[in-house]
Amino acid sequence: MHKPQNLFEYEKQASSLISPMAADYYASGACDGITLAANRNAYDHYQLLPRVLVDVSRQDLSVNILGQQHATPLIIAPSAFHCLAHPQGEKATARAAEEQDTTLILSTLATQSLEDVSAAADTRRWFQLYVHKDRALTQDLVARAVAAGYTALCLTVDAPLLGKREKDANNTFTLPSDLCLANLQSARKNLPDQQGQSGLFDYFADQLDASLNWHDIEWLASLSDLPIVLKGIVRADDAQRAVDYGAAGVVVSNHGGRQLDGTIATIDALTDVVTSVDNRIDVLLDGGVRRGTDVLKALALGAKGVLIGRPILWGLAVDGADGVSHVLTLLREELKLAMALSGCASIDDITPDLLTTAHRR
């Protein structure tokens, strides 16, 4: 196979290298996939208005997020089960993050423990968290994240229940017997022995706390000094509440189209959220980012950074850590070129006037 030249080629190659069940798990959205498609297609509604005759001979892609300096606005989104894509799983992803000086957000549903991932690479790490009915389990995960050097908590707030993912149901999705939910192994004591890893996943789904509310953010903040980022915000009023309840940031996200089908595309929700928080906290975005121009558009609309999800898994499936690193390189170089051609020498030069939603005649 030739080395992919863009993320779409990575997607095509990855689909031929992993099991159909894994490919469907990574790719699918909820129900009819309306939101899944909208996340991608909505970027086409925004056209660029590039500046010319600007000195872009030197470019700076660095940005400050949560008071931490990032080499680029790219962040690796939390996603489950990296070992379905490659035997080295999340450890390989962490090594790529280190090579690219990119923050990794590790999923609660990782197939390698947060401690093992921490030991695998010296990269900035945030931990993605679900609040469980068993609050002791949640408290233990936070304590482990602090001890392992994670520097922020990324709380998923759009999953009181799991969305309806019909491909997974049709495939009777289960983890292979040699893989596990490494961060939840302590929960095995609550399961009958014969349930195995499938039972552990069912246990996780049952543990999602549908009673979670804004006051629980205060409880979570009491467990550590780590800044809390709320992932799954698409409304301006919810973004305002995030500020009021002490969040350090929000991720404008609809869970990659995997929760409620028919939800607004994230790039279309971004402006109202950014306006609502009024620079008091950092706003990030995920969903549908496939090109450097997508990143440029998100930054022009006020995002401080973007989370990259499925393409990381494609890179991992194609070439392990090197594949993930190359995916990030492609996006970085595309962003750098798009900035130069738009007259932007630094991230601060990326402003809303670079975009128009006017339709061509």
CATH number for the domain harbouring residue 220: 3.20.20.70
Per-residue pLDDT of the chain (361 residues; tens, 9 = 90+): 689 999 999 999 999 999 998 988 898 999 999 999 999 999 999 999 999 999 999 999 999 999 999 999 999 999 999 999 999 999 999 999 999 999 999 999 999 999 999 999 999 999 999 998 889 999 999 999 999 999 999 999 999 888 888 888 787 888 888 888 899 887 655 544 444 444 556 777 788 889 999 999 999 999 999 999 999 999 999 999 999 999 999 999 999 999 999 999 999 999 999 999 999 999 999 999 999 999 999 999 999 999 999 999 999 999 999 999 999 999 999 999 999 999 999 999 999 999 998 554 3
Sequence-distant (6+) residues with CB within 8 A of 361 are none
> What integer pLDDT is reported at residue 204 of this predicted model?
75
Q: Would you say 43 is a known binding-site residue?
A: no
Return d(Cα 73, Cα 276) in angstroms, integer.
21
Sequence-distant (6+) residues with CB within 8 A of 359 are none
Return d(Cα 337, Cα 324) in angstroms, integer.
20
Instruction: Give domain status of residue 357, yes or no.
Output: no
Gyration radius of the chain over CA positions: 20
Q: Would you say 262 is a known binding-site residue?
A: no
Strands 103-106, 249-252: pairing is: unpaired
Q: Would you say 231 is a known binding-site residue?
A: yes
Instruction: Give domain status of residue 135, yes or no.
Output: yes
Return d(Cα 216, Cα 210) in angstroms, integer.
12
Instruction: Give domain status of residue 23, yes or no.
Output: yes
Q: Which two tokens stand for residue 65?
A: 């997020």
Return d(Cα 49, Cα 296) in angstroms, integer.
12
Which residues are annotated as catalytic? 255
Instruction: Give domain status of residue 55, yes or no.
Output: no
Q: Would you say 286 is a known binding-site residue?
A: yes
Sequence-distant (6+) residues with CB within 8 A of 126 are 103, 104, 105, 106, 150, 151, 152, 153, 154, 229
Instruction: Give domain status of residue 127, yes or no.
Output: yes
Q: Would you say 287 is a known binding-site residue?
A: yes
Q: Would you say 124 is a known binding-site residue?
A: no
Q: Which domain holds residue 148?
A: 7-46+69-345
Give the angle subtended at the CA of 278 by the CAs of 272 and 283, to the nearest 5°: 70
Q: Phi-psi category of 33—alpha, beta or left, where left has phi over 0 and alpha has psi -120 to 50?
A: left
Instruction: Give domain status of residue 239, yes or no.
Output: yes
Return d(Cα 104, Cα 121) in angstroms, integer.
10
Q: What amino acid is encoded at 178 in this protein?
A: D
φ, ψ at 30 (rounded to 5°): -75, 145
Return d(Cα 312, Cα 7) in angstroms, integer.
9
> For the chain, what is the HEC assignment?
CCCCCCHHHHHHHHHCCCCHHHHHHHHCCCCCCHHHHHHHHHHHHCEECCCCCCCCCCCECCEEECCEEECCCEEECCCCCHHHCCCCHHHHHHHHHHHHCCEEEECCCCCCCHHHHHHHCCCCEEEEECCECCHHHHHHHHHHHHHCCCCCEEEECCCCCCCCCHHHHHHCCCCCCCCCCHHHHHHHHHCCHHHHHHHHHHHHHHHECCCCCCHHHHHHHCCCCCCEEEEEECCHHHHHHHHHCCCCEEEECCHHHCCCCCCCCHHHHHHHHHHHHCCCCEEEEECCCCCHHHHHHHHHCCCCEEEECHHHHHHHHHHHHHHHHHHHHHHHHHHHHHHHHCCCCEHHHCCHHHEECCCCC
Instruction: Give domain status of residue 334, yes or no.
Output: yes
> What integer pLDDT is reported at residue 358 of this predicted model?
59
The tally of domains found in the chain comes to 1
Q: Which two tokens stand for residue 193?
A: 């022995």
Query: pTM of the prediction?
Result: 0.94
Instruction: Give domain status of residue 64, yes or no.
Output: no
